């Protein structure tokens, strides 16, 4: 395996009881890239992310992170190793301040000085969160809550972030703002595996893309190639 490969899925299959959600997929993420995983509702995108982060156990195949087999590792160990999942929905904890929500994100970080440093970094990246540090997290706007969810992931000091539909439920202007945040995060050095329903936007950001259909990879390629592919445009990008 080459060292510029940070994440590799080999023949990953995952099921919920008798429902086969992911049916043996191969996927690679190079260090420093944004790779997007596209597909219709129910294609298996979330299940793929959950399998990587240890929330769903693979039925077959292997997940390699920096060459190490993490398939059987516990979710908190996977997070500690540097693979951090930002789940669908924003999961901001009501009754906790923005600062407390962020600190909760750093549960894997034992060193108090490092936690403080990370908090300062998140506040520098998202000044609005600093302004609202003592407000209840659930009072933030949808876009701000998405920043908080991403900020919470950054508290772990991730090497790769698994982002599940960060733009879901946001107004169009905030969708664009969220995509800019994802881009900045990547430019600051974080590798990203991005699940998006908005294929057009995701392909504009990403270096490489995979199209998942009923648990199987139907297509993959450079993002620029995929967005120019007539069959993709018709099936996934609309008019
Ligand atoms: N907890 C669960 N129990 C049973 N079946 C599930 C569960 N979660 C997902 N599934 C099924 O697994 C398949 C893949 O679902 P998954 O959530 O991974 O799709 P997705 O691509 O993320 O879809 P969406 O775009 O709607 O978020 C679907 O058929 C779904 O109904
Ligand atoms: Mg999903």
> For domain 5-236, is the CATH number 3.40.50.300?
yes
Q: What is the pLDDT of residues 155-197, one digit of tens each?
A: 989 999 999 999 888 888 888 888 988 998 999 899 999 999 8
Distance (Å) from CA 76 to ligand 2 centroid: 21
Atom of ligand 1 nearest to the CA of 40: 25
Distance (Å) from CA 41 to ligand 2 centroid: 7
> Are the beta carbons of 160 and 7 closer than 8 angstroms?
yes
Cβ–ligand 1 contact at 42 (below 6 Å): yes
Write the residue with the smallest CA distance to atom 26 of ligand 1: 41
Cβ–ligand 1 contact at 41 (below 6 Å): yes
Write the residue with the smallest CA distance to atom 4 of ligand 1: 16
Atom of ligand 1 nearest to the CA of 48: 18
What are the boundaries of each domain within the chain? Answer: 5-236
Residue showing tokens 């974080």: 190
What does the H/E/C string look like for 31-98? CCCEEEEECCCCCCHHHHHHHHHCCCCCCEEEEEECCEECCCCCHHHHHHHCEEEECCCCCCCCCCEH
Q: How high is the pLDDT of residue 239? A: 41
Ligand nearest to the CA of 45: 1
Write the residue with the smallest CA distance to atom 11 of ligand 1: 21
Cβ–ligand 1 contact at 21 (below 6 Å): yes
Q: Which of 39, 46, 53 to mutate to test the pocket of ligand 1 (most atoms within 8 A of CB)?
A: 46
Per-residue pLDDT of the chain (239 residues; tens, 9 = 90+): 456 999 999 999 999 999 999 999 999 999 999 999 999 899 999 999 999 999 999 999 999 999 999 999 999 999 999 999 999 876 788 889 999 999 987 777 888 899 999 999 999 989 999 999 999 998 998 888 989 999 999 998 999 999 999 988 888 888 888 898 899 899 989 999 999 988 888 999 999 999 999 999 999 999 999 988 877 766 766 54
Cβ–ligand 1 contact at 162 (below 6 Å): no
Write the residue with the smallest CA distance to atom 1 of ligand 1: 16
Q: How high is the pLDDT of residue 3? A: 66
What is the rounded CA–CA span in Å between residue 156 and residue 79?
Answer: 7
Q: Which of 27, 36, 42 to mutate to test the pocket of ligand 1 (most atoms within 8 A of CB)?
A: 42
Q: What contacts 158, CB < 8 A, 6 or more positions away?
A: 82, 83, 84, 190
């Amino acid at each position: 395996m080459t060292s510029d490969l940070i994440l590799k899925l080999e023949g990953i299959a995952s099921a919920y009881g008798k429902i086969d959600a992911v049916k043996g997929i191969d996927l690679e993420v190079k260090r420093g890239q944004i790779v997007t995983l596209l597909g219709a509702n129910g294609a298996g995108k979330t299940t793929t992310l959950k399998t990587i982060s240890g929330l769903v156990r693979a039925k077959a195949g292997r997940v390699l992170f920096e060459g190490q087999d993490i398939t059987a590792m516990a979710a908190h160990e996977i997070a500690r190793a540097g693979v951090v999942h930002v789940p669908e929905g924003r999961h901001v904890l009501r009754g906790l301040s923005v600062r407390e929500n962020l600190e909760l994100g750093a549960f894997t970080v034992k060193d108090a000085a490092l936690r403080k440093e990370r908090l300062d970094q998140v506040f520098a990246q998202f000044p609005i969160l600093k302004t609202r540090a003592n407000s209840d997290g659930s009072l933030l706007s949808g876009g701000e809550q998405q920043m908080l969810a991403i900020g919470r992931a950054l508290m772990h000091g991730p090497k790769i972030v698994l982002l599940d539909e960060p733009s879901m439920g946001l107004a169009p202007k905030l969708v664009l703002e969220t995509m800019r945040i994802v881009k900045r995060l990547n430019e600051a050095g974080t590798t990203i595996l991005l699940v998006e329903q908005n294929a057009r936007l995701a392909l504009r950001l990403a270096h490489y893309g995979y199209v998942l259909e009923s648990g199987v990879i139907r297509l993959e390629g450079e993002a620029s190639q995929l967005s120019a592919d007539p069959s993709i445009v018709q099936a996934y990008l609309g008019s």
